[in-house]
Chain A
């Protein structure tokens, strides 16, 4: 009896919590004029649902371009970030060198720096470096400023520190150099932490709607968030199309998250918080 009540409560809470997302999914299949009609009752009405909004959204928002560009953007940030952040984190965790303490203090200070505030000086720096215009330059401007993150360096350092030293010492005895030890011993050992960092970065940059519109001035370079925003500016504004577009740009993140979930077990977050 108590068990059943527990399940019932959990089910009700889950339903209430997911209601906004369920409404989004449902409304993206409904005929346009019905989106705001009849309150909550239509949520149980499955007649007249159709895929039209998805076809329209794909075409009107030029989602193929948007998805491709966003994919390149996050792949670049995640790939470079993984390498550069973990290299720096490993140096801060395992090497003793003059300047290590002030450097680590700098990393801590930079963690709290909100990047949004520096969008304009960043734009001017990027412009000075000539990273505006074509596809390759735009991609560089989307990726390079955000690949290295102070929080990721800090987080990975904590995980490197938590590793037992025996593994690395055994590799030294085998005659491996420092880069080899980092690459084939230490890095694989903190795989869960790397997965966590990757997922967080993916969420951050997939949803970035500030920097891409500043940088992606040409049609062929726009990202998913620009695609979504464009549905509001080209008449007629169709709510169904907007919701379908919203669902479509959520799917890739959901997929990656599902794949990484196994690694991002809650316990691994803990080592970073000390």
Chain B
């Protein structure tokens, strides 16, 4: 029997056809169109008759202070969120990884903010971060005052706005990473841990020699995913501060969004999008290579 008769050869493509059709139409085509526009002076209302500009948008963007600020902010956000969120999630996973069912509620608690949508949480935290005005203040300032520290205008102070947004983001997403670590921990066989305990390994040694090596795939996954997701920063600052104060929280995606919708400069925005895609792809690749290096 020849497995490659016509009908048989067609079957995989029948399975793939719907997905390929939609991916092609709504992902690949828009991406290629954006790549094309990035080399022209196209604007939102007139996309057809655009003139060729070559790489002008790219060189222009690389020296644009606001675009550089957006990149800087996004990178700072990632630098704050990735290590803190991953470490906290790992710690929480170790904590809630208990066999007794009465501990399951604690997992639900840490996962709860993940289930609430980001715009809702952005609204909520804008209210929590409210500055002091007369006898009115947000909850964060009330708690800060309760421990004797001065109240702050969290989102209105250019030096505090981005850290405040990072704090809220860590709180929102840590439960998800915790779940992934938990999955890894539960795959780790109990025998291994017990053997290590019998051999007289303390908690620190068990963590270093048994848990961490076994958790390497989960750790690599969480770091890559968090890094890429934090570079996609947009919802929190856009909804909480509109990128302010003084552009202190403008993100790359907000820059792209505003350049097209407010400035209507499709060519320029597309070039920014391409630079952003290249960066994210580069990060993912670098992380993969780094993970491979560590493994070998």
* A, B: real partners: yes
- By a CB distance below 8 angstroms, the chain B residues around A173 are none
Asked if A17 meets B109 with Cβ closer than 8 Å, knowing A153-B19, A207-B119, the reply is yes
Which of A153, A269, A274 is the one whose CB lies under 8 Å from B179?
Answer: A269
Q: How far is the CB of B228 from chain A (nearest CB, A)?
A: 6
Which of B13, B128, B269 is the one whose CB lies under 8 Å from A20?
Answer: B128
Question: Do A19 and B135 have beta carbons less than 8 Å apart?
Answer: no
B217 within 8 A of partner (CB): yes
Asked if A40 meets B221 with Cβ closer than 8 Å, knowing A97-B9, A125-B30, A250-B116, the reply is no
Q: How far is the CB of A52 from chain B (nearest CB, A)?
A: 18
Question: Do B117 and A266 have beta carbons less than 8 Å apart?
Answer: no
Which of A21, A37, A84, A207 is the one whose CB lies under 8 Å from B112?
Answer: A21
Q: Provide the main secondary structure of the chain B interface.
A: helix
- By a CB distance below 8 angstroms, the chain A residues around B106 are 10, 13-14
Asked if A110 meets B27 with Cβ closer than 8 Å, knowing A182-B15, A270-B187, the reply is yes
Interface size on A, residues (CB 8 A): 80
- By a CB distance below 8 angstroms, the chain A residues around B270 are 120-121
Question: Do B11 and A95 have beta carbons less than 8 Å apart?
Answer: yes
Q: Report the separation of the CA atoms of residues A24 and B113 in the bound assembly, to the nearest whole angstrom.
A: 12
Q: Report the separation of the CA atoms of residues A239 and B136 in the bound assembly, to the nearest whole angstrom.
A: 13
Question: Do B18 and A17 have beta carbons less than 8 Å apart?
Answer: no
- By a CB distance below 8 angstroms, the chain B residues around A36 are 127, 130, 133, 136-138
B22 within 8 A of partner (CB): yes
Asked if A266 meets B186 with Cβ closer than 8 Å, knowing A21-B113, A87-B16, the reply is yes
A203 within 8 A of partner (CB): yes
Q: How far is the CB of A172 from chain B (nearest CB, A)?
A: 12
Question: Do B19 and A207 have beta carbons less than 8 Å apart?
Answer: no
Which of A18, A206, A273 is the one whose CB lies under 8 Å from B117?
Answer: A206
Residue of B nearest to A182 (CB): B15
A267 within 8 A of partner (CB): yes
Q: Mark A215-244, 1 if CB is under 8 A from B, else 0.
A: 000000000010011000000000100110
Question: Do A95 and B120 have beta carbons less than 8 Å apart?
Answer: no
Question: Do B120 and A249 have beta carbons less than 8 Å apart?
Answer: yes
Which of A84, A109, A126 has its CB near the most chain B CB atoms (within 10 A)? A84
A105 within 8 A of partner (CB): no
Q: How far is the CB of A191 from chain B (nearest CB, A)?
A: 17
Q: Report the separation of the CA atoms of residues A14 and B135 in the bound assembly, to the nearest whole angstrom.
A: 29
Which of A84, A239, A254, A266 has its CB near the most chain B CB atoms (within 10 A)? A266
- By a CB distance below 8 angstroms, the chain A residues around B240 are none
Q: Report the separation of the CA atoms of residues A140 and B242 in the bound assembly, to the nearest whole angstrom.
A: 30
Question: Do B16 and A88 have beta carbons less than 8 Å apart?
Answer: yes
Residue of A nearest to B179 (CB): A266
Q: Report the separation of the CA atoms of residues A127 and B20 in the bound assembly, to the nearest whole angstrom.
A: 20
Q: Mark B251-275, 1 if CB is under 8 A from A, else 0.
A: 0010011001100001001100100
A122 within 8 A of partner (CB): yes
Q: What interface size band does chain B fall in? A: 35 or more
Q: Report the separation of the CA atoms of residues A264 and B106 in the bound assembly, to the nearest whole angstrom.
A: 16
B34 within 8 A of partner (CB): yes
Q: How far is the CB of A145 from chain B (nearest CB, A)?
A: 4
B205 within 8 A of partner (CB): no
A38 within 8 A of partner (CB): yes
A103 within 8 A of partner (CB): yes
Q: Mark A117-138, 1 if CB is under 8 A from B, else 0.
A: 1111110111001000000000
- By a CB distance below 8 angstroms, the chain B residues around A10 are 103, 106
Question: Do A203 and B137 have beta carbons less than 8 Å apart?
Answer: no
B294 within 8 A of partner (CB): no
Question: Do B123 and A37 have beta carbons less than 8 Å apart?
Answer: no
- By a CB distance below 8 angstroms, the chain A residues around B5 are none
Asked if A144 meets B273 with Cβ closer than 8 Å, knowing A118-B27, A249-B120, the reply is no
Residue of B nearest to A153 (CB): B19
What are 6 A-B contacts with C-beta separation under 8 Å? A20-B121, A20-B125, A23-B128, A37-B136, A114-B280, A118-B273
Extra contacts, 20 of them, besides A91-B12, A110-B23, A117-B276 (Cβ < 8 A), are: A18-B109, A18-B112, A20-B128, A36-B138, A39-B142, A40-B142, A84-B18, A87-B19, A103-B16, A112-B228, A117-B256, A120-B269, A122-B26, A207-B235, A225-B119, A246-B120, A250-B120, A266-B186, A269-B180, A270-B183
Hey, which bits of chain A sit against chain B, CB under 8 A?
Answer: 10, 13-14, 17-21, 23-24, 27, 35-40, 83-85, 87-88, 90-92, 95, 97, 100, 103, 109-110, 112-122, 124-126, 129, 144-148, 150, 153, 178-179, 182, 203, 206-207, 209-210, 225, 228-229, 239, 242-243, 246, 249-250, 253-254, 257, 266-270, 273-274
